[in-house]
Structure 1
Amino acid sequence: SWTPGEAGARERLAAFLAEAAPAYAADRDRPDRAGTSRLSPHLHFGEISPRTIFAAVRHAEESGRLPGKAADKFRAELGWREFAHSLLFHHPELPHTPLREAFASFPWGEDEAALRAWQRGRTGYPIVDAGMRELWHTGWMHNRVRMIVASFLVKDLLIPWQKGAAWFWDTLVDADLANNAASWQWVAGCGADAAPYFRVFNPVLQGEKFDPEGAYVRRWVPELARLPDAFIHKPWQADIRTLKEAGVGLGTSYPEPMVDHADARTRALAAFEELKSSA
């Protein structure tokens, strides 16, 4: 939750510097921990400026309250935010048009049923579904999970990044035109300094690495809460007895995976090769 206004922004910054900031470099990718600043809504609505935050971080570092590694990592994230705004200034078409012109002819698919399943958190991949449900219920999603769900939409499902950007724009309380567009283009591989298209996030491995005990998934996908840690990110691999004891019915209480990730990755890479060969 957020307390709107400048006073709320200052309180959030002070709390972050006192609590989560010292471990920011290690915890920022863990959705199961309160490791991020959650200042994005305040920045978006102009309730606090990047300069104010930058100065506070520097003061905390110089006073010995904030390790240099954590300070550097947080400053880098502020820098990415400002870089996105610079991109939008110089490329006003950023929210709709790929910066890499070749991607204008990428063979995207149109699957409204798949898009709706993604939006509702019913993909059958727990870390993806947890993120999409957190977004719908709170208007916010952890940054690492934003990358995971975005990769799943554009690479596992081959749905245009603009569709995902539009959904985030409609649902995020911190929806920022520059950062939203730049981030989606980064994941899709068509933006500035973009992730290579062949980097396809594996939702199971991402979940196991960044939510190792499944606390985040259990919070937002409660129908899986009783599964053992070993299966919380891949319930389809659990045997019938384990599923029954956990009260999970694949295909009934929780969907089966809507795609096989390995097959989807192969399909995405083939589409990219098709794009390169036609360029």
Structure 2
Amino acid sequence: MVYLLSLLLPFCCCTHVGQSQNEHQLRSFQRKAEVNLEIQQLKSKMRDSRLQKFRDELRNRSQVLKKLGHIDTDGIVQLKGQAACLIETGDNLLATELMFNGTFNDLNHHQVAALTSCFIPGDRSEEKIQLRDELEKPLQQLQDSARRIAEIQHECKLEIDVDKYVVASVQPFLMDVIYCWSMGASFAEVIQMTDIFEGSITRLARRLDEFLNQLKAAAHAVGEVDLENKFGAASDSIRRGIVFANSLYL
């Protein structure tokens, strides 16, 4: 009898240990399933949160477009919105604002070339900006318009720093250079007017020409013949000399 018990005892112990291990594994699998379910629920909440955030931002941006007159209360694109759709190189909201608030109407094509250069991002000058009288007022109007657009975006609950938007949107570092170049100054003369490198001036002038042609197309689309001609004249006035020489891009 004792001998028989001695034979069965290890078997019973192994059976007990095996059951304990199975129960532990079962609990582990159950916990893993619970964790996976929690993960899926959290992912679903994150997707819903991102989708809701996107919807909120879309609604807020639509409100901005309504306040600026790009779309009506039914979401139908207006003339201002049609013009903005044709502008890609610069800030289209700001550019169309100047087109429709009369800022460009009061300027000659040399001033237009200078003012629109502020839309083109480029190198910053370390020197203090000193503008001639005929450029100071247009620059102030541009800055005021940029601030108004930023404030409207802020009112519509878009995340925006008004001052940073104005600084980023208005870059007048080559405004005087482009004005003189448009007026017929030589390249040797204009490069002495700034500490910005010659290559940067060339790149900005070429991008400015592209921007002016987009403005010209936008003016044509909304039937503004005078503005269309003015943007065309501004483009023609800077498309000359070494700045647009093909050899620079060989």
Larger Rg: 2
Return the structure number with greater helix share: 2
For the superposition of Structure 1 and Structure 2, which TM-score range results when normalised by the shorter chain? under 0.3
TM, length-normalised to structure 2: 0.28
